Structure 1
Amino acid sequence: MTRDTILCGDFNARLGSLTGDAISNARGNALKPWFDEHCLSVLNASLAFGVTTYSSFRQQQELSSIIDLFLTNIGDVALVNPQLVVESDLSLGSDHRLMSLTFGYVPPLDDTVAPGDFCSGSSASMEALEIDEREAFGLTPSIGVKSGRPGHWKKYWTQEIQDAATVRDHSYSQWRHAFGIVKVEKWSLYKIAHRKFRSLVQAAKRRSWKQFCGILEKDFSKATAAIKRIKRNKESSATYSHPDGPAASVTAMGSHLASVL
């Protein structure tokens, strides 16, 4: 395994509090020492904490878990603006949700010490972390657990829309597991549930937009601030980076400007 490796897929491993999942399973507990041995970090924990990647329905009960994982041994410095998106729609022929990871990458220098070189002396630190983790679990019953914000969350997202999304996913799961002529009926029910969900989302978007416009009409200062923010987001700024770091970027750019001016 190289020092710039990314692993992704269905590991069927539930990591509990590490990723914001409800429980851990045997495979997840077995993989944790392997993560430490290879200095692998779970990007779900930092970029999509608590966001479900698998959902299905059994006996009218929704089953959800976080078993599709992105793992990497790339350090935080080398990953620029990473984003992990977990889609909310189950219309891809699978109970697993589509996931996408985007990031900028800064290649390591040749003389950079590989992450694995630091693993040999980390046993004491790991013991301290395990103690802290046990203390945190002791506090959980008294302070509660806050679930992660789902990737499809918007300002207009309401409980009514959430209920419609649950019905839609349930209908889709029933269609996938149906056989024969029943499959046609389940597909029809799914399409009805999907249309209702989309209708509620579009109506909520319109209400949110009208509310936003009303606020701008009443407060001119907020209107100008919003216009400036939109204009600033559309402007693109050119940047220059060098594999050897910021200092090398300054030197290279200075040499280039000196040669053309």
Structure 2
Amino acid sequence: MVSDEVVSEVLSSKEDRPTIRRHRDDPVEDMAMDLNTYYYNASSRQVSDPSIPSSQSIPLSPSTPSNNTSSLVPLTIGLWNANGLQASTVDDLLRHCQSFSLVFITETWLLPPARLPTSWQQFHLYGSPVAGQYRGSMGVSALVSPRCSLPVVEFPVNCKYALGLQLGRSLRLICLYLPPSLPTAEVQSVLDSLPLTDDTIICGDLNVRLGRLVGDSRTNMRSSVLRRWCDDHGLNILNKTLAYGIPTYLTCRGHAEVSSIVDYYITNMPLVRSASISVALDLSLGSDHKLMSLSFEYSVPVVPSTQSSPSLGQVRRLWNLSRLKEPEVQQLYVSTFCSLSAALLDQLQQLCSSPPSTRPPIDHLNDELNAAIYSALDKSVGSRTSRPKQWKRFWTSQLQALADRRDWLYRKWRWSLGIDKAYGS
């Protein structure tokens, strides 16, 4: 039985104070608290595939059965072209995004080191300076809700037109802004350079008119480039099935209303559960582009484990690393690793000297490197097993949960800013 004194010692009294959420909040605690139920004002239009009930999954291509179990996480990905983002607009925008997991903003015109006045976590692909003006051009930003149920990190896209975010361990989001003046050949080059993994969603203002494919009134030069690229990579344009004929850009010229579809959601995910796209046609945020959102349930893969772990539930490999202090053992590790990684080194040197026209298999190369390290450790220092179950019998699942929460509160406090630090958690 765990005494009250032990529990009190593990769980700090700070916990009783009201929680103040900040943009560096750890999302794990929020996973069970927020269902990300999609809603915003009544003027928005939500369109689903009429042939499929909203509660059903939308199969986009044949899926490969997996042995891994999974859990469903509701997500809502917002998208809006600001046509020059003003600091005063941020609060108004986020009032309509309270149910969103995150929102991408294109054409921000922001220059470094600009930051937006919000507690939401923010990522920026800054724009290019404009001569003679105090602003930039282009630019993409992302604002992540403190209630987002998956951790979010940026990953490199190596392109001045795209911002990449990874949610959890497997879902990647790439937001693009392709200016109308960009030559068609460069559009093709940008698309070909995007790092596509198994679960990828591409969104943004592509300035592509796809005509009848998505219910638009006409096509443009870029349409064939985008359609061919999607066909070559097994990508599906979700506007076609979830928002057919719904314009994303509305303006008035003279006395006539002009509309077009230039903002898209595209994915290679084989199965999108409970998917819907909403376009806020009557919402005015100071831009002719309309606020959009893609809502769906993401199937987060959970790797089965044969070895229990207090927090992650994954197999953790262990070695006698302290033996690397012994010169002979260290030399054995180095020589073994050099031998095992020789083929990989030759392959990497070949890729650097003669870069291929297609993206190299980064994940496979990473697996080969890890395998060389693990094998070298096995043959030099040797592996070891985890401590037996009877080790520290007083440590219970309740104590572990309290310790995990204590660590989470500490990380939350550590990333607080200014006077917020005095209030703790």
Normalised-by-shorter TM-score class: 0.3 to 0.5
Greater strand percent: which structure? 2
More RCO (CA 8 Å, sep 6+) = 2
Greater helix percent: which structure? 1
